[in-house]
Amino acid sequence: MNDASAQEFPLPNASTDLSGSVALVTGASSGFGERFARVLASQGASVALCARRIDRLEALAEEINAKAGENGGGKAIAIAMDATDADALVNAVETAERELGLVDILINNAGIPDAQRAHKMEIELIDRVLGVNLRAPWILSCEVARRLLAAKKPGRIVNISSTAHYRYDGGGAALYATTKTALARMTETLSVEWAYANINVNAICPGMFVTEMTDGMFERIGDPRPMLARKRVPVPAEMDSTLLYLVGPASECVTGAVIKVDDGQSARMRM
pLDDT, position 116: 87
> Rounded mean pLDDT of 227-246?
92
d(CA 18, CA 23): 9
pLDDT, position 223: 80
Is 7 inside a domain boundary?
Answer: no
176 is catalytic: yes
Q: What is the CATH number of the domain that holds 167?
A: 3.40.50.720
Show the domain range for 198: 17-262
Q: Which of 166, 168, 176, 196 is catalytic?
A: 176
Pinpoint the alpha helices (H) of the chain. 31-42, 54-67, 86-100, 123-130, 136-151, 174-193, 212-221, 240-247
Tally of structural domains, the chain: 1
> Rounded mean pLDDT of 136-152?
98
The mean pLDDT of the chain is: 92
pLDDT at 19 over 90: yes
pLDDT, position 36: 98
pLDDT, position 6: 54
* Spatial contact of 42 and 18, defined as CB atoms under 8 Å apart: no
| Residue 80, phi then psi, degrees to nearest 5 | -70, 130
> Rounded mean pLDDT of 22-48?
97
pLDDT in tens, 53-96: 999 999 999 999 999 977 778 999 999 999 999 999 999 999 99
> Rounded mean pLDDT of 140-169?
96
Is 175 inside a domain boundary?
Answer: yes
Is 2 inside a domain boundary?
Answer: no
Is 193 inside a domain boundary?
Answer: yes
pLDDT in tens, 173-215: 999 999 999 999 999 999 999 999 999 999 999 988 887 766 6
